[in-house]
Amino acid sequence: MANWKEGDRVRIRARAQTSEDAKNCNYFPYFAGLTGVVQKVYNEKESVVDVDPESLPKDIRKRHDDIRDQMKTKWLEGLSEEGRSRLTEREKDFVLHYALLVNPEDLEMPGTEASQARRTITDIEKAEERELLRHMGKSEG
């Protein structure tokens, strides 16, 4: 078992669910393949993974995005007109995290050379730019 730490990129591995998993609610087969970042490691049996929304199945991702949009609208409508006008675009960006409590033993590195093509520096720079634009509340053209 790897010693995962906060900030590590991970993927939840695929395996059969045990009766212990069902009892503890810390592994379900539909978790398999989700990627994200270790947010917190509590002990050798519990860690929190902040899941990448892009790795969610299409229907769950849509539901996640719909809920995020509803919460953002409700939050903005709860502010006064003056309060809303003082917010920067970055402050208006409403991030809804999708976090799972999982056993660290169910985590693995997100990809291997065999399963993923190696990204070029241009690919990495483009991904970084998209992420920065997303966090600044702008859309890519």
Over the stretch 16-28, which tens digit does the pLDDT of each residue have? 999 998 888 889 9
Which three-class secondary structure state does DSSP give residue 26? coil
Q: How many residues does the chain have?
A: 141
Q: What is the pTM of this model?
A: 0.67
Return d(Cα 136, Cα 93) in angstroms, integer: 7
Q: Tokens for 108, please give them.
A: 């693995």
What tens digit of pLDDT does each residue of 65-116 get?
899 899 988 988 899 988 888 888 888 877 888 999 999 999 999 875 434 4
Which three-class secondary structure state does DSSP give residue 63? helix
What is the average pLDDT score of the chain? 85
